[in-house]
Amino acid sequence: MIEETHLLKVIKEHVYQRWETACEKQPKIWEFIKKVNDESKEDFEMVLRRAAEYGSEYTKSSSMLSIVLQLLFTGIDDDCLLNEPKVFADLWNSVTNEGIASCDRFKQYISEDDLKEQMNEPSSSLILALHLYYQEKVPELLKQHHISNSKNTLYNLAAESVTQHGWISGIQAIKGKIPPNKYEPLIKKIREMVSSISTSLEEPSPCPRIPSSVDQSSQDTSGTTNLQILPNIAKPPDNMLKSTSSTSDQQQQHPSSTHSVEQSPTREITNSVHSSPIQISDDADIIQKCILTEPLKLQDLIEAGELKYNDKTLKEIAQDLVNRFFNDHTTPTTNFSKFVQACLHPIMFLIKRQQNLDDFMKTLTFAYEKMKRERATQSLSSDKAVPLSLRAFQHILLSSSDIFLRRIIMSLISKRNPVPFVEPNIEDRNGPAKHEIMASVVHVWNAQRPTLLSFSIGPCRGKSSLINSLFQSTFERHINSIYFDCTIDIDFGYSFIPERSFNVADCHGELPMDLLKTIRKLFDGFIIHVNQEYLEKNTDAVTELLQLLPSDKFQIILVRDVTSNFNEQRCLRPMNALLTQGTTPITPLMNMSDTNNSETQYLLEDLRENLLEKIKLYVPSNIDKDDLFFDLHKLLKPDYVTYLKHTTSTIKPLKKCLLGNKSELNDQSFPLYLQFTVLCKLRQELKKIDFYGSDGDRSFKINAEIFRLEHEFEQKDKAGK
């Protein structure tokens, strides 16, 4: 434990104050907390100090339930956790999935009288806290399956039933109140959810989560427990992100061996099985272990790297990460997941400053490969690590973030880097859907300009490098990884001054026909790469794929690595009816691997001018935004589309109200809006304060002002209703 310093005392007082504020509407639970404080001071102090030392470990989903569990099951103390590090995880999983009855399995950690009282008394603090937990989770799941709150009682009845009997038995008990066509998918989903949770080995235990810096030995002792005491403004629905187990935190000591049941708001795409030497299943298992089970939130992005990397170079940051990785003597798979998770913090630090991530990845990869060569005996085998790539880090970061943070991260990445559009389906890799659309791309898609898709037919090396040379993009070069197997990135060119007149998408690996059918409407032109040898031997296959492309959109074929015996007319003849441009649709290119060669440079410049001229001539600059987003929304999961519509319906009235010409409404609404901006600035300022710096004392004044403004908002909200 941390020494009882003055700082720790201050944090404990702050945590206690937050508990009290959160329990304002739950007097019985607060009475229980005070009773423990009065009658079992030592037990209360243990839980309070744990919260102060490790921050908001248990307050992400149901803080009250977490506090009550820790105060009741006092047998799970620090000594117990040293010997049984998973016992609290087992307790948490049991209670939040099997209901109150499952507490009996943990009776060795609680006095017999207390257990009987908590399980048999309907108004006991544990039942109340657990019921509050399910009052949030059960309606979310029912709404997901379009089950309405029949007679305004079904949701509460279901929450009470699940509180007593757990998810499966609890929902089965109210089967008669749900239409059969909606009940069957619901119970199937619940069984899958509970099954996934039951196989999870690592759930929240009273241990620190991964700190918001590369130094995993350092602890964030800010002590702010993330208790929500006001309704969130424009908060996305939680049911689109996670089920009941999503309160679990990724552990430093015991990283999760299974993936979170959090459902990413992405649309799965059924692809044909693509033969590849890549060990997809093994890579997916490793990636899944790298994804944090407790989603990152905006606070994590704000804190990432601050006061840590300001005075460090990229080389120092990368070398520090690699040194710790190779000096860690835990199991290789566990070690690699910790290494990847640590790398997320400098990546967040850099994208906040709108930096291109290529330099960091090159520096990190160089340090990693150099250390691996020097310590050949410690290098990881292929089944314990995956090749380092920016695409992998981006996907893990987005998958480890909540729905709101995903949107922000995607926006920050797009400023200087290509953004992921199609990614491997890690969650259900054994199912028919091999890939998924990254839903948050909808928020950064630049509909003011046309978008061209570059892809290859058959094997064609050097495609991304050529596109980078032509359009000054920064697409990652191919490596042997699932992240370069039928995946797509889009470079929106937001950093170009003047702006580039079109967006560029690049497909890694060969593009399957069914994936092309799914996404073809989104693009306004196609740059097709094909190797000369493949084209001459597979003209029919090339023609078949070209038939899938919209005939009214720009197409150009770049024939790569041509030799002197290339017969353009012979290859062109079967495709004449498909290629719509009056100019030559096929452009032969010699081998361009040596970009330092002057002849290659001249050819590149000539090709660039030729392409830009054709794009300007044949690609329309006016894009129908409504049609584009209509087609894009069809690729997303229905829940995410509903979330988008809900967000829009929330923002539009506010915008209309604030910008309207009715002076009476403006007099009422605009001052409230200005007050809200002050509250947001105070919250941001509080996040940046260093407790060890000279501004530490200001945190109390800021907290007091925040509480005052929040109270005013609550009163005005009640008055408005």
DSSP string, 341-402: HHHHHHHHHHHHTT--SHHHHHHHHHHHHHHHHHTGGGPPPTTT-----HHHHHHHHHHTB-
pTM for this entry: 0.57
Among 263, 636, 240, 627, smallest CA distance to 443 is for 636
pLDDT at 570: 64
Q: Nearest 5°: phi and psi at 592?
A: -115, 25
Q: How far apart are CA 43 and CA 560, in angstroms?
A: 72
Q: Which residues pair with 586 in a beta bridge?
A: 557
Q: What is the pLDDT of residue 333?
A: 54
Vertex 449: Cα angle to 446 and 453 (nearest 5):
85
Tokens 């607060």: give the residue. Answer: 30
Tell me if 679 sits within 8 A of 478, measured CB to CB.
no
Nearest residue to 519 via CA among 493, 487, 544: 487
Residue labelled with tokens 């005005």: 716
> Residue 366 phi/psi, 5° resolution?
-60, -45
**Rounded CA separation 195/185 (Å):** 15
Cα–Cα distances in angstroms (integers) from residue 252 to residues 3, 101, 127, 402, in the given order: 21, 31, 31, 20
Q: CA 420 to CA 506: how far, in whole Å?
A: 10
Q: Residues with Cβ < 8 Å from 176, sequence gap 6 or more?
A: none
**pLDDT at 240 (0 to 100):** 34
Residue 654 neighbours by CB distance under 10 Å: 13
C-alpha span between 505 and 316 (Å, rounded): 33
487 CB-near residues (< 8 Å, 6+ apart): 391, 420, 422, 423, 424, 435, 507, 508, 509
Three-state secondary structure call for residue 268: strand
Residue pair 274/485 in contact (Cβ under 8 Å)? The answer is: yes
Q: What is the pLDDT of residue 397?
A: 94
* Average confidence (pLDDT) per 10 residues, the chain, 721 residues: 70 81 82 87 84 59 73 81 74 84 85 85 85 86 86 86 88 88 88 69 38 34 34 34 34 36 45 44 79 89 85 90 78 74 92 89 91 66 70 93 92 93 82 83 92 91 89 89 91 79 92 90 92 83 85 88 72 56 66 78 89 90 88 90 88 76 63 82 74 63 85 75 54
Backbone dihedral region for residue 634 (phi beyond 0: left; psi -120 to 50: alpha; all else: beta): alpha
Nearest to 456 by CA among 525, 507, 520, 418: 507
Q: Which two tokens stand for residue 644?
A: 């988008």
